[in-house]
Amino acid sequence: MHSGPTLLLVLFCAIALIVFLIVKVRVHAFLALTAASFVVGIGSGMPLVKIASSYEAGVGGTLGFLATIIGLGGILGKMLEESGGAERIAQALLSALGKERASWAMMLVGFIAGIPVFFEVGFVLLIPLIYVVAKETKINLLYLGVPLAVSLMAVHCMLPPHPAAMAITGMLGADVGKVILYGLIVALPTAIIAGPLWVKLVCKPQAPEAQEAFLNEHCDDSKTRDLPGLGVTLFTILLPLILMVGKSFTAGLPHDSMAFNVISFLGTPLIALSIAVVFAYWALGLRRGLSMPDLLAYTQKSFPPLASILLIIGAGGAFNGILVDSGVGSALSASLTQLNMNPIVLAWLVAGLMHFAVGSATVAMISAAGMVLPMLGAHPTVSKEIICIAIGAGAMGWTHVTDSAFWVVKEYLGVSLTDALKTFTTATVLASTVALGLTLLLANFV
């Protein structure tokens, strides 16, 4: 086994390789993380056979917990997308708050509708509604789009059952219900401050002259479709969260009681999401006239986009496994402990730097969890759930030109690179900082 400094140098080279392959060579993150895993294994002196078995165990151990959950979450998100549930929520909030508070409405839409869908899906799904509102009210697209994007990003990074949030929850051995509860407490104020409040400071509400031509080209406000009810849509989205959070409140019940066993069973992520999917099939599908072949088609359409996420998370789990088995994790833990830095701040900083470098919040969160995990033994009093939130908070920040989410926002809002950096990138940096402050505050009470 090599010395501590040598092992840290190996880790540094592996991280540099990840960044180089993803940013410069444009290699898929799954392959970059796989290559980095082998660099760590070989560089640390692990036997070659052990490297292979450690990689396989890391992938299996991570995806064994997550694969089914991510698949069920994908189905739930597709049902919300195809049924028009997200559009129903947006229309209801715009009607309740008024067009003059449209930025607040879009922030809330992103926060609620973003729970079961990925960032890019949520933004593309709701952008037609933003176009219609902007055309009717002459409001700047940035004034509406940035709050939506920030709230989607906050939910994406902090709240299970989103894949990366779910993955680090499993990797760190945290309680899913508590992560959801703490994530809600931190993410909503973060979305408010970095969304409608921030955009009011950096962006004029009046539409620029060029916006009218852009909207005439992209906006089609003649489409109408039958949308599901608001109540049933909200219940479908929140049902798995209610079940998973409910499990966290069973601590005071006798462990041999029927209530404890039933609530614990229903609150297991696999069961909670299964129940939610069955309910969505009925409430957003069969009840509204869809047939089983229709539901089968929606289900099949939900799976292909998940393949990339599953591979990245699996390779991230392998990277983490090799860090531990090679001794690099222990060397990193000893080195980070000597820094005498607050572990919450450290987790936030590592995730933020990784996101800035590689441009993927998912890769940043998985990598950060793998690097922070060995250190947690030296800080037994720190809540694992709080560390999960800190990692998510760090991964929100510095969404810039290396991140596909940045280009989705820029292109769909039809703004210049400078305006996108000035409004959206700075909003994510603010969101990350606010979320860190709220996480540190929350840590004093949990």
Nearest Cα to 220, choosing from 123, 327, 120, 129? 129
Q: What is the mean pLDDT of residues 131-151?
A: 90
Task: Tell me the pTM.
Answer: 0.88
**208-212, 385-389, 434-438, range with the lowest pLDDT:** 208-212
Per-residue model confidence (pLDDT) at position 296: 96
pLDDT interval class at 256 (50, 70, 90)? confident
Question: Which residue type does 300 have?
Answer: Q
> Quick check: 240 and 259 in contact, CB under 8 A?
no
DSSP code at position 98:
-
Q: What is the mean pLDDT of residues 4-21?
A: 87
pLDDT(2) > 70: no
Token pair 């909030």 is found at 93
Per-residue model confidence (pLDDT) at position 95: 86
> Quick check: 59 and 314 in contact, CB under 8 A?
yes
Per-residue model confidence (pLDDT) at position 131: 87
Over pLDDT 90: what percentage of the chain? 45
Per-residue model confidence (pLDDT) at position 223: 57
Q: What's the rounded Cα separation, in Å, for the pair 24 and 354?
A: 15
pLDDT(239) > 80: yes
Token pair 């607050």 is found at 342
Q: What's the rounded Cα separation, in Å, for the pair 210 and 261?
A: 60
Per-residue model confidence (pLDDT) at position 290: 92
Per-residue model confidence (pLDDT) at position 348: 95
Compare 323 and 145 and report the one with higher pLDDT.
Answer: 145
Q: What is the CB neighbour count within 10 angstroms for residue 377?
A: 10
3-state secondary structure 317-345: HHHHHHHHHHCHHHHHHHHHHHCCCCHHH
Nearest Cα to 111, choosing from 96, 129, 93, 99? 93
Tens-digit pLDDT profile for residues 260-299: 899 999 999 999 999 999 999 999 999 999 999 999 999 9
pLDDT interval class at 142 (50, 70, 90)? very high
pLDDT(161) > 90: no
Q: What is the mean pLDDT of residues 39-67?
A: 90
Burial (CB count <10 Å: 0-12, 13-18, 19+), residue 206 = exposed
Per-residue model confidence (pLDDT) at position 285: 93
Q: What's the rounded Cα separation, in Å, for the pair 410 and 214?
A: 13
Per-residue model confidence (pLDDT) at position 98: 82
**254-258, 341-345, 419-423, range with the lowest pLDDT:** 254-258
Per-residue model confidence (pLDDT) at position 200: 92
Q: What's the rounded Cα separation, in Å, for the pair 331 and 8?
A: 7
Tens-digit pLDDT profile for residues 179-223: 999 999 999 999 999 999 999 999 888 888 888 888 888 776 555
